Structure 1
Amino acid sequence: MILLRRHLSIFLLGILFMLGCETQSQQRSPNVVLILTDDQGWGDLSHSGNPNLFTPNIDALAIQGVSFDRFFVSPVCSPTRAEMLTGRYHLRGGVKGTSAGEERLDLDETTFAALFQQAGYSTGAFGKWHSGMQHPYHPNSRGFDTFYGFCSGHWGNYFSPDLEQNGHLVKGEGYLPDDLTEKAMDFIEVQKDGPFLVYLPFNTPHSPMQVPDIWWEKFENKTLDSLVSGEDPDFTRAALAMCENIDWNVGRLMGKLEELGLTENTIVVFLSDNGPNSFRWNGGMKGRKGSTDEGGVRSPFFLQWEGRVPAGKTVPEIAGAIDLFPTLLDMAGLDYAGKKPLDGISLKPLILEENPSWKDRMIFSHWNGSTSLRTQKYRLDKDGNLYDMDSDPSQQDPVQDQHPEIIQDLRLAVTNWEAEMEAALAKDPESRPFTLGAPEAPLTQLPARDGLAHGKVKRSNRFPNDSFFTNWVSLKDSITWDVEVLEGGEYLVELYYTCPEEDLGAEIRLQVGENHVDARVKKAHNPPLKGMENDRIERMESYVKDFKSMPVGSIVLAKGLQRISLKALNIPGDQVMEVQKLLFTNKELNH
């Protein structure tokens, strides 16, 4: 009898233990994987009906999860990222451009990554950041423990490019989207006991149109169906090849989650940052990247959480990038106690409930002085025309004459919204200097993208994001950066340059306030331009070079606003050098 009681007690304890484990498993904070693609339109998926490509792994996220049929982002990259990260319209956070510092998200804005980090999540970002390079705008200062990728708006080389890892310069390994996925999977492997947040912002299919042969060969001679007006078939072929590569990488990532037994406790989200970067099949919608029309701002949005969200559910209600912040927090059981009101709404009721109570709403899209407004039924375009998006999804026939009260209300709503955004921007100074020497970051990069050319100095391309300075031929020329030094002290300075043998010997001066340091170009380094050998079509952006580091010396920087200038003291040849960037390292923090 005693032995029977002992066995019974052990059995009951085992049952209680298993129930406790199950309860702990159910209560465990879910992991989050957020996949963002760059310039992939709503139509660049087989799930959307595009007959020209096959994306089974991305499609599976919709089939096994929830798909939002009308999900809206911004017309271009950095505004979408700002809205996604904060749950607020991008103009509220000071983001009004894609380069020259206008892509930076105000420091008083809270990112969802910071809140997940504060809640005990291990957080990692792998890819294109495009919300500020210098700390405290850097991803490591905005909630991500780990960052691997690049902070610029676009990159000039996708094959083993120069990248950074937690502020240190590194060389990528192989094709960039593959490498980013590999690093994300490595992070998941290490953090598998969770909880973790992985943000995977791919750099493709943004130009330059580079993709490995294995993906290109399928499309190189492919006959495309459903060509649209203005379409460049070769560009489309390259874009679709890049999209199929993304799909393969999404499959690899999902395979890693399954291998580690994490699918039932991981929320996976997939979306793009704007409409397609060329005219190509997009469901007949008007507009592409850069446009505030439907085709410029409609994005796929899939959310999968195996066993927790309905499989195959399609949500017809409109939603947008501003909703991602509150939705992720709500799904993960985290609270937002911030002082700034959110523009977004948690989509959790639409995801989980069968017949949720949901009010009609307005979602605004803005870029380059143009604003459009979307309700569930109507779109008011940038010119004030009204379209019934149920009966006329291609925006062909304006209906404002038929709905005088609706058009009046929506035009007034746009006027009020623009006034509110203008007031939000007015709180910031017209010019925000770039930051240098943040205490948490011993190294600060000042790329050519963030500098100004004076005299005869030119950019290598009109698009600043991946450019360098060239044509430095006169003693009257200069290159400057306006900065705010956050931590005064002595800094080591490096300059990344190219210079042919025949132009060696130029002497330069780096001046900051009353302090300066002089250096001489002693070593020739004259690599050719590259990138064209991997481009499937001719690019718009700058080609790149392998720049070499040259020590300039050390200089004392005072805290506060400063202008950094580079000038030549002597030019024995035809030019001084080409300049890609400056690196400042705080000597005290570096030790």
Structure 2
Amino acid sequence: MTNIIYIVADDLGYADLGCYGGREAQFGKVSPNIDKLAEDGMMFLEGYANSPVCSPTRFALMTMAYQYRLRGALEEPINSKSKGSATLGLPPNIPTLPSQLKKAGYYTGLMGKWHLGYPPHFGPRASGYDEFFGIMAGGVDYFSHKSGRGDHDLYINEEEHREVGYLTDLISEHSVEFINRRATEAKDQPFFLSIHYTAPHWPWETRDDAHLADDISTLFHLEGGNIHTYRKMIHHMDEGIGNIMATLDKHGLTEDTLIVFTSDNGGERFSDNWPLVGGKMDLTEGGIRVPWIARWPAAIKKGTVSMQHSMTMDWSRTLLEVGGGEIDPHYPVDGISLMPILTGETERFERPLYWRMNHRDQRALRVDDWKYLKVDEHEYLFNITNDARERANLGKKYPERLEAMRKQWLNWNETIPPIPDDATVSLGYSVADMPQR
């Protein structure tokens, strides 16, 4: 059986990586190990996240369904004020990717960010992971491991855990330890390892910035950080991924291990989204189009590029199929397997993608070359293939297409629960409010 590693960066922009056209010529290589994954596997140029914000995408990742089906996912995103809530989180009775892989014989682990509700009502091990190391919150200081409320937030399973170290490195080190342990103690049992980095999510701290850990306000500041710190944070993550790859090689696991790399949403203020506009919290392309890389030497042809449209829940559905897991018939799954794309059976199939955001009443639908977008009271129609920057609104030129896509979105919206009145937007600002180049 195939081992599976699912790597998720946090707030990584579409072009932050060298393989996606990042600023390497000006600043030097930032992601050589991730670039090597793309070189050895398949890179998707039009892949998307289920949401332009953290925890809703993670609901979709776990359930393989549109996040809007669950109340907890309608927060944008869940924040530390949700501690103690029995509502705002991933209910343990919901089948998940790890729980269904576990039933198929996999040993499952999560290293890194959970962000799907707080104990005692919610937690990684209640939703299918055999073991967990990481944080429950959406973001913590990289050294003190404190959340925005000042609470210490680092756990092993359900127990609070104190460990000195830069969080990105700790996530990588625990991932390496997991692989070493499984390869030596249980080499006949396949593993599913989720590695959910917090990098390059704020606070803006590199390995050299331990002195910043005393100021929790850095978690939420708008005036701090810079492009150099941001890129170094990505590089720290990339170094960890290199160590993970070396560990697989050491144990002879590289050939039949599927590695998928992505981001939970579009980039934040220092990210490189070129040629896209917007970012985190926005349904413009910069907020939802993200890197997707898959490396699986046993099945994926080396050095391939795909234009297949997909979103987070499709990838989780794909991993379930790779692992031989079954869908629970009592719970809807909206994700569509990408196995025909990965194996080269087909180059592309049409797959409509829908989004909805409480923030600024945003709506979006991607069908083939076209995208319908609504922000506040303004509607847009873009040919994304020709206009990835979403500059030319073609709604007046093609009113029939605009109307048809509006109706298609409304018909889909009727199939999912409405946004409740008490749902909140936690960030309070959008990258759209920042200067755009």
TM-score normalised by structure 2 residue count: 0.83
Supply the AA of the counterpart residue of 1:88: A
Q: Deviations over 1:88-128 (max 9, x none)?
A: 11111221112235751244421100011112211111111
Match of 1:264 in 2: 255
Say which of 387, 401, 419 aligns to 2:414.
419
Letter paired with 1:36: V
Q: Within 1, Cα distance between the matches of 2:358 and 2:42?
A: 29
Is the Cα contact below 8 Å between 2:307 and 2:348 reproduced in 1?
Answer: no
| Higher radius of gyration, 1 or 2 | 1
- One-letter identity of the residue aligned with 2:41: G
Match in the other structure for 1:373: 365
- 1:92 is aligned, of 56, 69, 72, to 69
Match of 1:37 in 2: 9
Of the two structures, which has the highest relative contact order with CA contacts closer than 8 Å and spacing of 6 or more? 2
Partners of 1:81 and 1:349 lie apart in 2 by: 24
Which stretch of structure 1 is more off in the superposition, 403-412 or 363-372? 363-372
- The DSSP-based 3-state class of the residue aligned with 2:403 is helix
1:435-450 equivalence runs, <5 A: none
The answer to whether the 8 A contact 2:310-2:353 is kept is no
Deviation of residue 159 (structure 1)?
Answer: 4.9
Partner of 1:112: 97
Measured at CA, do residues 107 and 277 of structure 1 come closer, stay the same or move farther in structure 2, by a change above 3 Å?
Answer: same
Matches within 5 A, 1:246-261: 246-261=237-252
Structure 2 residue aligned with 1:347? 338
Which one-letter code corresponds to 1:397 in the other structure?
A: A
Asked whether the equivalents of residues 283 and 355 of structure 2 are also in contact (C-alpha less than 8 Å), the reply is no
- Offset, 1:257: 0.6
Equivalences for residues 296-311 of structure 1 within 5 A = 296-311=287-302
Of 148-157 and 192-201, more deviation after overlay is shown by 148-157
Q: CA deviation at 1:354?
A: 4.5
- Percent of paired sites with the same residue: 28
Q: Partner of 1:525 in structure 2? A: none
What does 1:367-406 correspond to in 2, within 5 Å?
367-368=358-359, 369-382=361-374, 383-406=378-401
Superposition pairs of residues 32-111 of structure 1, within 5 angstroms: 32-51=4-23, 52=27, 53-73=29-49, 74-94=51-71, 95-97=73-75, 98-99=78-79, 100=82, 101=85, 103-111=88-96
SS in 2 for 1:140: helix
Match of 1:313 among 304, 315, 339: 304
- Contact 2:372–2:381 (Cα < 8 Å) also in 1: yes
The change in CA–CA distance for 1:169 and 1:357 in structure 2 (over 3 A counts) is: closer
Q: Secondary structure at the match of 2:206?
A: coil
TM-score between the two structures when normalised by the length of structure 1: 0.62
CA contact (8 A) 2:59 2:67 kept: yes
Q: d(CA) in 2 for partners of 1:40 and 1:356?
A: 26
Q: What is the Cα deviation at residue 280 of structure 1?
A: 4.1
Offset, 1:175? 0.7
Which is richer in strand? 1
SS at match of 1:239: helix
The reply to whether residue 278 of structure 1 matches residue 298 of structure 2 is no
Question: How far 1:84 sits from its partner (Å)?
Answer: 1.0
Q: CA 1:63/1:241 → structure 2, altered by over 3 Å: closer, same or farther? A: same
SS at 2:141 equivalent: coil
Q: Secondary structure at the match of 1:422?
A: coil
Partner of 2:228: 237
8 Å CA contact 2:43, 2:294 repeated in 1: yes
C-alpha distance in structure 2 between counterparts of 1:414 and 1:359, whole Å: 16
- Paired amino acid for 1:200: I
- Contact 1:235–1:278 (CA under 8 A) maintained in structure 2: no
2:192 aligns to what? 197
RMSD over aligned Cα atoms = 2.5
User: Does the 8 Å contact 1:291/1:367 carry over to 2?
Assistant: no
- State the one-letter code of the partner of 1:413: Q
> Alignment partner of 1:328: what SS?
helix
Q: Is the 8 A contact 1:297 1:365 kept in 2?
A: no
**Structure 2: distance between partners of 1:265 and 1:315:** 21
Which amino acid is the alignment partner of residue 66 of structure 2?
Y
Deviations 1:212-252 (A, max 9, x none): 1399xxxxxxxxxxxxxxx9895222211101111111101
2-side partners of 1:367 and 1:242: how far apart?
30
Partner of 2:353: 362
For 1:114 and 1:389, how far apart are their aligned partners in 2? 37
Distance in 2 between the 1:388 and 1:232 partners?
A: 36
Query: What is the CA distance between 1:143 and its match in structure 2?
Result: 0.4
* 3-state SS of paired residue (1:374): strand
DSSP 3-state at the match of 1:110: coil
**Contact residue 35 and residue 201 of structure 1 kept, 8 A:** yes
| SS of corresponding position for 1:401 | coil
